Structure 1
């Protein structure tokens, strides 16, 4: 996807193309409000108000649109793909693309170490004269005395200043270099000609900002740590993606450009669920036509004459009329009870796959379970075709949202005004669905309800919520969730070694249900915007002969870790708010694109017996 930026931060000149990202990244890692690192500059993706919706295709997924409307309001009318014009030539000055603006607004010259803002213009210039090479666009220090060349195209590119500030309400701003350096100055400095110097020591890198006019200097280290906010002004409520300010006054936190907690997406996703093709369901779906039919002959005339009912022409007229009378006697078609949960609808279909609920975007076939796992698995389903749609609802900074939480406390809007549409991406792929035995899971969860290891995770969860000013809601099924999540990660690591896909392209989808309707299932899938995600390598591993080997190896690997005994003996204790126990990068952690919960709620001891205290599901 093309990224378009103006020649200056205020957007006063015509936009030009300066880079590109994959369309899926605009929902997951490089969405609205995120800072995108390009080869020679750093930019932030603008709010939806600046996009061009007329160049965007609409993604049809009613279930997901309804979920987005529940969170953002009924004014949301559509899910849209990234802007794209198939007839457009590769023009570096195209207007079709995602609008971005330079951020941070400060850069540093690599030759003279001059640190300065991009606005007002004049000190740093944008050089973009490379035609179809947008990646070569760069900022140069036009007044640098250490670069002898007079041609800007030969000058070294300036690098973005790597320090910024943010607050827990989602505001983001440039680091206040001028105020920070001159905080202890006895007289105000009118020049504020700053330079940034790096030096190394036994304590790590030291970054000093110095004013060449008055000589004042200060180390950035003073603004770091838990007390760093005392050396910084209060937040002025800046949203650079919306190009506006609002009242805030919260404490600022020093951030490094490229930090992983600078942007977290708040996304909703849904699998495409096909409609049933039975005769009765088709009559119910077209009840506006069949309901008013006075006679059987009139009904048959409509079936023969309407193109939308052509699939019913092979059904005997008497049988079709009998269905109409049956539904009419019941007072008309009764709408299905809305679950209000996207995952619950998917669970119903995956747990009871049928050939009547399949189409080009969803095909699921039950297969035999591997020998030796009857106490664990209820069934295995090979999903040869699936379609997943993801929509970006909002984003957060510093603190990541909880699993499936679409309204976190620190949520930031994607637009300045009322959101009329949201970015979405549809991906097609394949997967394996494993349903665990509900009776075994429920019996085990009741047995370990008072286990100290489980209580330690519960206490850590309370501290985690308290440290982030989030309400703690008791009743979360920790035992069930940790069991399913650990099982998912163990199998996912083994599948990645043999299926032919990279580990980051395999995603998990957990089904735990709710207290009144518990569930226990794991869907491992791979999805891509093209045919890359449907090559069949993952589905093939769902066969019993392959799956048995993968499960055997997964449980064997779960019993040991290269970081043992530290990993196996780890339990969160006060004041730690870590939401995992026996889990680390060497045994269970997965990439952030694969895991639903940012590698939280994991413990090998819940699945295999590494503690010798009766906690394990499979001792």
Structure 2
């Protein structure tokens, strides 16, 4: 695979619009949706009414979508050639426009010595390919993009004006260099130096206001924010992890229990987004071969009636958390959920208790049912991004609250579609007894542990200036910790690597006693189903659960890990009880909450246990 090619899933996550990507000879910022080559059918329209309705309301509320428009979900463009023979793709702007020569001048020796490299602009490079810089004495040097840029908490991004930062209002055209000394890469050991003698230590660049005010530049959209911006710019290391945090909403597709026509219309609802009347249905049949082939034999009125019914259902679902509808389907107790055929969005079986409990020496009375999910469809959609701080995720699966320490940035100027991908896979759903969890919550040791976790959470949320997310609750910490323990153990049994597994935690206190469950699943883009290894672990669930609890009873970092007190820590560690990389933390791509709200003391007795364990 060439280095300037990305997977579809990467384009809606790590390398979406506004993200900086290193290419072999330069760095670019991924272009906004207006710069995606979507002409001539270079994409697929995805149908997921619940997701469309929810995001359409979000974008209209934030004035990012015209009130008269409807929202589409589309896959990113593929690498297949367009009709003109050119490969499809995403246009990306060169960013940053400052480069550092690879040729190094060593000045002096010993502690007083330093290394110096020339600092040049894009326009100064050799016009042939823009890969090297020609010195006045005839030398030629390859160049690399400078590591440092600047941004603000609204997501705006721009080059550092190095001449202004070094000289202020003084005009100077002398050559500039990046000087480094030592081997620590400490900011204090790196300086930008001008031939006139002026210099700036990178340590100074961290001083608030030192880099100047933001101009509202949005290089991924090739414009400036029409609302302007006057925030102080912050230094940003181009390849650091805090340069880009995608905002992605994920939904598990639910089965349709309607007739054949309703199922066909539901599958094509993305193609029918702009249909507002029966006349529009007739036009869609006439001009869209896909719709004509699937719906041609049905009456226009019947098609429109089914479409309205689907939309009204989506609007009703959009008013509540996506996890509520998902939980109600998985925990319905039906022997079969959905239909067992290749085109089904969801097919699962509620297993008989004897099939998974068996003769076990672990108390499974808190587990109401186990559901083997043979086939599921996950749809994920990118709707924005943040810099410096990730927008905290909501424990109930709702859209992230971005009105915190950072603001979500748009990925287009006025596009009426968002990029999304569908992934297919399998999973296990564990339904927990609501009464058992509530009884445990009311016990003294559990209450005392909850108060410590709340204190740590409040300490952590101070970073958001009092506008942080809500505390997810003790049941969420319990189920989240158990999910991580199970994922690590299942990975040893099912054949999938741990990084291939994902989770959805259902800790929803509203309703008749609440909704409590865990979905552990795997999903792969472009594949109908997976290898079946995850579902095959269902008969061994009791032994897997016992092994998972035994494994987290002792951590290799004990007693330090087990003695951890949340309210005495800083950063994300303040949301943890007894949890670290040696016991409960997993790959962040697998965790729905970025490895927050974990405590193995809630699961089983640890070295410092005081009786709060659920099992």
- Structure-2-length-normalised TM-score: 0.78
Per the alignment, residue 550 of structure 1 pairs with: 544
Distance in 2 between residues matched to 1:68 and 1:551, nearest whole Å: 37
8 Å CA contact 2:423, 2:527 repeated in 1: no
User: Structure 1 residue 229 and structure 2 residue 208: aligned?
Assistant: yes
Aligned residue number for residue 191 of structure 1: 173
Secondary structure at the aligned position of 2:190 is classed as strand
Mapping of 1:347-358 within 5 angstroms?
A: 347-352=327-332, 353-355=334-336, 357-358=338-339
SS at match of 1:115: strand
Residues 167-206 of structure 1 mapped to structure 2, 5 A cutoff: 167-183=152-168, 188-200=170-182, 204=186, 206=188
Residue number in structure 1 paired with 2:19? 34
* Alpha-carbon displacement from aligned partner over 1:39-72 (angstroms, at most 9, x marks no partner): 4332111111222333322111111111111211
CA distance, structure 2, for counterparts of residue 597 and residue 167 of structure 1 = 24
Alpha-carbon shift at residue 555 of structure 1 (Å): 0.5
Partner of 2:134: 143
User: Structure 1's 449 and 79: CA in aligned 2 closer, same or farther, altered over 3 A?
Assistant: farther
1:238 aligns with 2:217: yes
Alignment equivalent of 2:387, drawn from 373, 382, 397? 397
What is the DSSP-based 3-state SS (H/G/I as helix, E as strand, rest coil) of the residue aligned with 1:443?
helix
What's 2:291 paired with?
A: none
SS at match of 1:387: strand
1:562 maps to which of 556, 559, 575: 556
Distance in 1 between the 2:232 and 2:78 partners?
A: 40
Bigger-Rg structure (1/2): 1
Q: 2:445 matched to 1:455?
A: no
Residue pair 2:382, 2:419 contacting (<8 A) in 1 also: yes
Say if 1:260 and 1:532 are closer, same or farther in 2 by CA, change over 3 A.
farther
- What is the SS of the residue equivalent to 1:19? coil
Counterpart pick for 2:374 among 372, 384, 402: 384
Equivalent runs, 1:237-276 vs 2, <5 Å: 237-246=216-225, 247-276=228-257
Matched, 1:219 2:201: yes
Unaligned runs of 5+ in 1: 3-17, 128-138, 150-154, 290-305, 310-333
Q: Does 2:150 correspond to 1:165?
A: yes
How far is the alpha carbon of 1:277 from its aligned partner? Answer: 5.0
Q: Distance in 1 between matches of 2:137 and 2:483?
A: 56
Change over 3 Å in CA distance of 1:220–1:362 after alignment to 2: same
**Is the Cα–Cα contact under 8 Å of residues 432 and 542 in structure 1 kept in the other structure?**
yes
Contact 1:387 1:426 in 2 (8 A): yes
User: Contact 2:479–2:505 at 8 Å: present in 1 too?
Assistant: yes
Point out where structure 2 has 5 or more consecutive residues left out of the alignment: 61-66, 105-116, 267-276, 279-295, 300-311
Distance 1:68 1:519, change over 3 A: same
Q: What secondary structure sits across from 1:65 in the alignment?
A: helix
Does residue 60 (structure 1) correspond to residue 47 (structure 2)? The answer is yes
Report the Cα distance in structure 2 between the residues aligned to 1:550 and 1:362, rounded to whole angstroms.
Answer: 25
Judging changes above 3 Å, is the alpha-carbon distance between structure 1 residues 439 and 466 closer, same or farther for their aligned structure 2 residues?
Answer: same
1:480 corresponding residue in structure 2: 475
The match for 1:591 is: 587
Matched residue, 1:492: 487
Q: Please give the alpha-carbon distance, in whole angstroms, between the structure 1 residues aligned to 2:528 and 2:559.
A: 40
Superposed CA deviations along residues 116-168 of structure 1, whole A, max 9, x for unmatched, are 222xx2425563xxxxxxxxxxx52231468857xxxxx64x22211122222
Paired residue for 1:99, among 88, 91, 96?
A: 91
Secondary structure at 2:521 match in 1: strand
Q: Contact conserved, 1:109 with 1:140, CA < 8 A, in 2?
A: no
Residue 375 of structure 1 aligns with which residue? 365
- 1:614 paired with 2:605, answer no
Q: Rate the CA distance shift 1:447–1:146 in 2: closer, same or farther, 3 A.
A: farther
Structure 1 residue 505 displacement after superposition: 1.8
How many pairs are equivalent?
A: 529
Task: Classify 1:380/1:457 alpha carbon distance in 2 versus 1 (closer, same or farther; 3 Å).
Answer: same
Per-residue deviation, 1:563: 1.4
Partner of 1:412: 408
CA contact (8 A) 1:499 1:538 kept: yes
Give the superposition deviation at 1:383.
0.9
TM-score, with length taken from structure 1: 0.78
The answer to whether the Cα contact below 8 Å between 2:153 and 2:407 also exists between their aligned partners in 1 is: no
Report the CA distance between 1:354 and its aligned residue: 4.4
- Deviations, residues 212-260 of structure 1 (Å, cap 9, x unaligned): 4202222212223xxx214332323222212223422223322212211
